[in-house]
Amino acid sequence: MVGFGEKPFRAKQVFEWLWQKNASSFEEMSSLSLGLREKLAEHFSIDHMEIKDQQISTDKTIKCAFNTSDKRVVEGVLIPTSKRMTACISSQVGCSLACKFCATGKLKLMRNLTAGEMVDQVVYLRDQAISRYKTQLTNIVYMGMGEPLLNYKHMLRSTELITSEKGLGISPKRITVSTAGIAKMIKKLGDDEVKFNLALSLHAANDAKRSHIMEINDTNNLAALEEALIYFHEKTGTRVTFEYIIFKDFNDSIEDAQELAEFAKCVPCKVNIIEYNPIDDGEFQQASIKKVDAFAAYLESKNMIVNVRRSRGKDIDAACGQLANKNNAIKKEERVLK
């Protein structure tokens, strides 16, 4: 602003128009003079993501496909329940980790999303929550497409913009960043003393099983993750969430529950047991309700905090692990890139 011959306070005004009021053009910035608005429009552009497609599930879950300014497609999901209104957002276009149970992992990684593109998803889903369901967002989870810790700089910046009083003003305790498990970056979260919550996609508490479904475990095994989680907790004091997708005849036995309970002793935690959602050509099946209940009961007998997450949005492929499963725009783009 000073370089434009303007007073420094104009910078604060522009910042708030962008990140608090979510202006999509300089023309909207009515507190700025017409001359300044024209000068800004001449030198800069505001690359908002645009909605490409939207589906609404029978359970009121909303899945949105967003177009980026370079015509990539990413997905975000609004998940309403009786107690929460959650925005699930993506951090990358595609993913490089290729976890066997995840549809997004079948796509190639195309690029990282910017902080602004992540905030755009939150803003759109927040507005849908207000307009359709007359309620505010209660939670934001970085559990969509991509691995947030492989887009660390932009992910962290997006949380700053979301939580800032000059931004969206949402409490960091309402934000959860989920990772497939990159030990050195979990430690970096601790060094940066982040205020948001951390979730680890665990899914198996022995290395052989975890490596079978998650290649990342070959370079970030359970011992390395345990060390990183202890470090993270010592630095932040934040309780960790372990996410555990439960598969039929793979990780649903009481022995598996015993291994999980033993591993989870490393830090104060809670466990989310997640119903598996089928993907195209997937090798896994849903565990039976009886087995899921027995698994949860065992963990509870060990005084663990356990939540069983029943999937929402399955009919529109918006459930956990399904993003990009049947999104023709994304599949078409991947074929072109190949």
pLDDT tens-digit profile of 12-21?
999 999 999 9
Task: Reply yes or no on whether the pLDDT at 243 is more than 60.
Answer: yes
Between β-strands 240-246 and 92-93, what pairing exists: parallel, antiparallel or unpaired?
unpaired
Structure tokens at 262: 């033993």
The CA distance from 286 to 276, in Å, is 5
What number is the average pLDDT over the span 45-72?
A: 93
Residue of 75, 147, 275, 333 with catalytic role = 75
- CATH 1.10.150.530 location in the chain: 1-46
Domain 1-46 = CATH 1.10.150.530: yes
Residue of 99, 102, 269, 320 with catalytic role = 320
- CATH 3.20.20.70 location in the chain: 47-337
Task: Reply yes or no on whether the pLDDT at 323 is more than 70.
Answer: no
* Confidence class for position 313, pLDDT limits 50, 70, 90: low
* pLDDT at position 88: 96
Task: Reply yes or no on whether the pLDDT at 332 is more than 90.
Answer: no
The CA distance from 186 to 178, in Å, is 10
Domain 47-337, CATH: 3.20.20.70
In DSSP terms, 86 is beta-bridged to: 79, 139
Assess contact for 218 and 182: CB atoms under 8 A.
Answer: no
Task: Reply yes or no on whether the pLDDT at 336 is more than 80.
Answer: no
Q: Rounded mean pLDDT of the chain?
A: 91
Task: Reply yes or no on whether the pLDDT at 103 is more than 90.
Answer: no
Task: Reply yes or no on whether the pLDDT at 272 is more than 90.
Answer: yes
Known catalytic residue at 75:
yes
* pLDDT at position 46: 94
The CA distance from 147 to 111, in Å, is 11
Task: Reply yes or no on whether the pLDDT at 73 is more than 90.
Answer: yes
pTM to 2 decimal places:
0.90
* pLDDT at position 106: 79
Known catalytic residue at 42:
no
Task: Reply yes or no on whether the pLDDT at 315 is more than 90.
Answer: no
